[in-house]
Structure formats: C-alpha cells, structure tokens
C-alpha cells in the first residue's frame, strides 16, 4: 500500500476547526486505503518560545485528540517527531541542499518572523520548512494531507527531493500535497477573509475542538457575516456565510446546495442557531473522548511508543540510504 503521512504542531491546548476540517478529517478517511504515518511535530513547536511543562502537556493532548478525531492507533502509526531522531538527522542533510534565498522565500517564515523582527526569529524558525521536508521524505509517502497554508512547504519538499535524487541517486519519492478544496482554508469567524489560526486569530474568531461546547455555540452565533440576508455560498462576496456553510456542510455531511435550499427565505439568525447546535453535537463527544483518553496516560504512552517503533523502522532505512549516497563512511 502506498503511504500517507502528515504532522501537526502541538502549539495550543486544543486543535481548532481549521486543523480538523483542513487536515485531520482527511487523515481519518485515508488511513484505510494507505499505510498511514501521523506525527506530532514537537520539534517544530520549539522554533518559537515555549514553556516546557506546557509543551509536554500539549503533546499528550494532541495525541489524545488525534485518536478522538478517529485516527485509529491499530491502523495508523501515531508518534512524536522527537522520538524518531532520523527526522532531525535527515533535516541536516537537506539543509545542506537548500539555498539560503530559497529558504528565505517561504511566506510562512516571512509572516511569522515579521512579528518579532527577522533578527529576533530563531534559525530554527528559518529552517523549519527543511525539517518538514525531512519529516515527509523519510517515509516516501504518496500523499501528504494538509491545508492550503502548507502548499509552499510541499513544493520545497518536492524540489529538495528532486535535487537530492538528481545529485546523488534516486532515493526519494516525490510526494503530492493532498489538499481538499472545500476545506483548504477555514477562515476566522471574526475576520472571514483571514485563515483561522492558532497564532493569529482572536479567541472569538477561532473554534477550538476542546472548548466548552456552549462557548463554541456562542462564537458561531456571533460570527461575522454581511449586511445581506441570503444564505448562499459565495466566497468573494459572502466570505463569512460561505465559511459557516463549509463548516456546516462538513460536520453534518450535507451538501452546501442542500443547506442553501434549506435556508432559502430564512435569515442568518436561524442558520447560525442551527449550526451552533450542530457544532455542539459534534464537539461534545469529541471533547469527552479526548478527556477520557487523557485519563489513561499509560495507554497513550503505549500508542506513541508503538507508533515510534513503526515509524523508526521505515525512517532509519531511508536515512541509511541517504547517508550512504552522500558518502558518509558507515559505522562498523
């Protein structure tokens, strides 16, 4: 079976609807057809200042949330990036193939470093996309299910794979981004043209999966729409309503057209009220499952240990090929 791989950063106490709809949902549906590898990018999380105790806590919460979302540890390798040292090791080799200017063109680095000033950003933040390329290439996956914001990183990954294959010997498979058009960019509820984002959104703009369901319902009811009254999908003219339609459609498995019909002649109030209820229905069991999983730390630790073992077996084989091809003397 071809492989599928993706990762997520443990940079908040909870994943949000963008993470879930843009990425995790696809992880869940793809795990049957592909050989799945999903990891928590703890090494990426330290590219910005963080608190150690909080990070440890968030990593376990992340693992619990993946399982609660439907990533099945019986099928998928679920692991911590730092438990598979080959990621950092291949990362170094790929850094030596990456042009300085090439790394500098990454828009996510530009955005994130602009906030603190480029001089204050860590070198880790700068080389982050190269580590991400290593994360991916080690597993030679066919698909990498992500949201739109990761597309440029996937392009860099493909460029680096090609460069390595060309300079040395064919080693890497060129991975394809798997970006689901409808949910590629879930937007901020208060600023519906901006991405819903852990780092940039205001609390009212973001729906966390682990929020009190009543809080999420309230956020939906106060989401920014427009001065019209028609519930219709039009991303340019009606970004707020369109975003809500996307969320509604995916969590209830109802086509957008059916929702448009259902709310024809009704106002935004009814629409938001029903969506708020659907959100509560969706997040309540998710939240309960996550909290339950967090009660059993031993089980979580077993899951990530088994995941790391599965992942290491694959990753170390690729790394050995890479070390051989660049000309390192094998240790004896």
Q: Provide the sign of the torsion angle of the four alpha carbons 62, 64, 65, 66, taken in this order.
A: positive
Cα 320 from Cα 301, distance rounded (Å): 27
Does residue number 71 form part of the binding site for ligand TYM (CB under 6 A)? no
Residue among 209 and 263 whose Cβ is closer to ligand TYM = 209
* Four-CA torsion 274, 17, 175, 41, nearest 10 degrees: -160
- Mark whether 185 is an active-site residue: no
Residue 231 has which token pair? 């519930």
Q: Which of 25, 112, 140, 195 binds ligand TYM (CB under 6 A)?
A: 195
The residue count for binding ligand TYM (CB under 6 A) is 24
- Mark whether 198 is an active-site residue: yes
Distance from CA of residue 155 to its chain's centroid?
16
Residue 294 has which token pair? 């967090």
- The phi, psi pair for 6, rounded to 5°, reads -155, 165
Residue 217 has which token pair? 């319902």
Residue 9 has which token pair? 């950063």
Least distance (Å) between residue 47 CB and ligand TYM? 10
Does residue number 251 form part of the binding site for ligand TYM (CB under 6 A)? no
Q: What angle do CA 268, 271, 277 make, to 5 degrees?
A: 135
Does residue number 319 form part of the binding site for ligand TYM (CB under 6 A)? no
Least distance (Å) between residue 293 CB and ligand TYM? 19
Least distance (Å) between residue 240 CB and ligand TYM? 14
Residue among 209 and 322 whose Cβ is closer to ligand TYM = 209
Of 185, 195, 219, 310, catalytic: 195
Q: Which of 22, 73, 213, 307 binds ligand TYM (CB under 6 A)?
A: 22
CB 6 within 8 A of CB 145: yes
Least distance (Å) between residue 113 CB and ligand TYM? 15
Catalytic sites, residue numbers: 112, 195, 198
Which chain residues interact with ligand TYM by CB under 6 A? Answer: 6-9, 18-19, 22-23, 41, 44, 132, 135-136, 144, 146-147, 149-150, 184-186, 195-197
């Amino acid at each position: 079976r071809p492989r599928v791989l993706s990762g997520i950063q443990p940079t908040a106490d909870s994943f949000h609807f963008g993470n879930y709809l843009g990425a995790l949902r696809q992880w869940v549906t793809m795990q049957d057809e592909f050989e799945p590898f999903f990891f928590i990018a703890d090494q990426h999380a330290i590219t910005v200042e963080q608190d150690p105790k909080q990070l440890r806590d968030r990593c376990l919460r992340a693992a619990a949330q993946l399982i609660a979302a439907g990533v099945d540890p019986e099928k998928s390798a679920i692991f911590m990036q730092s438990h598979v040292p080959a990621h950092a090791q291949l990362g170094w080799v790929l850094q030596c193939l990456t042009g300085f200017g090439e790394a500098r063109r990454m828009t996510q680095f530009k955005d994130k470093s602009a906030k603190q000033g480029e001089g204050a950003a860590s070198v880790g933040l700068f080389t982050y996309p190269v580590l991400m390329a290593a994360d991916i290439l080690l597993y030679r996956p066919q698909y990498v299910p992500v949201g739109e914001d990761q597309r440029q990183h996937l392009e860099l990954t493909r460029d680096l794979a090609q460069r390595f294959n060309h300079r040395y010997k064919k080693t890497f498979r060129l991975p394809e981004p798997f970006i689901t058009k409808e949910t590629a960019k879930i937007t901020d509820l208060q600023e519906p043209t901006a991405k819903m984002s852990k780092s940039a959104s205001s609390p009212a703009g973001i729906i966390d999966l682990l929020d009190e369901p009543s809080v999420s319902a309230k956020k939906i009811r106060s989401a920014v729409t427009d001065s019209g009254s028609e519930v219709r999908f039009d991303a340019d003219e009606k970004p707020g309503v369109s975003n809500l339609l996307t969320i509604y459609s995916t969590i209830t498995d109802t086509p957008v057209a059916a929702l448009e019909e259902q709310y024809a002649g009704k106002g935004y109030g009814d629409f938001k009220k029903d969506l708020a209820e659907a959100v509560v229905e969706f997040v309540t069991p998710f939240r309960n499952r996550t909290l339950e999983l967090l009660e059993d730390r031993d089980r979580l630790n077993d899951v990530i240990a088994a995941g790391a073992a599965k992942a290491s077996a694959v990753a170390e084989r690729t790394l050995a090929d890479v070390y051989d091809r660049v000309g390192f003397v094998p240790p004896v």
